Amino acid sequence: MQDDDLHIEKLYYSIGEVAAMFQVNASLLRFWEKEFTILSPKKNTKGDRHYTQKDIDSFRIIYELVKEKGFTLNGAKQYLKEQRKSGNVVTEETNPSVKIKESLQNLKQFLQEIKNKI
């Protein structure tokens, strides 16, 4: 079994782990946490942040809007606010780019299985 085949999801991730996932500084996560109400990692008594998968999904949506699509912070806030108002809450499941990525990952896995059979 290859490392890619083994995917274990953790309940909580540290700020360093999340920053590494997105190749950003931890300070960006802390900054966006102040700017966007949908980011709300749990904190222990020492103040260490513990991110759930939901927090990571929310960060991914904000990252895509700001870093990939070029939204300003205010523009991203407004977009998320409008989506909530219209009932079109942007989530990991409803984000079109996530669905495309998932489809591509499934295709990659399928092609790897065919390759291994050859």
Q: How many helices (H) and strands (E) are present in the chain, helices listed first? A: 5, 2
Spatial CB neighbours of 21, under 8 Å, sequence gap ≥ 6: 13, 56
Between 100 and 82, the higher pLDDT residue:
82
pLDDT, tens digit, 9 for 90 and up, residues 49-97:
999 988 998 899 999 999 999 999 999 999 888 888 877 655 555 555 5
93 — phi, psi (to 5°)?
-75, -30
- What CA dihedral angle connects 25, 26, 31 and 33, to 10 degrees? 130
pLDDT tens sequence across 3-12: 555 556 778 9
Any idea where the domains of the chain sit in the sequence?
9-90
Distance from the Cα of residue 60 to its chain's centroid: 3
pTM of the model: 0.65
Mean pLDDT of the chain: 83
Architecture of the CATH domain 9-90: Orthogonal Bundle (1.10)
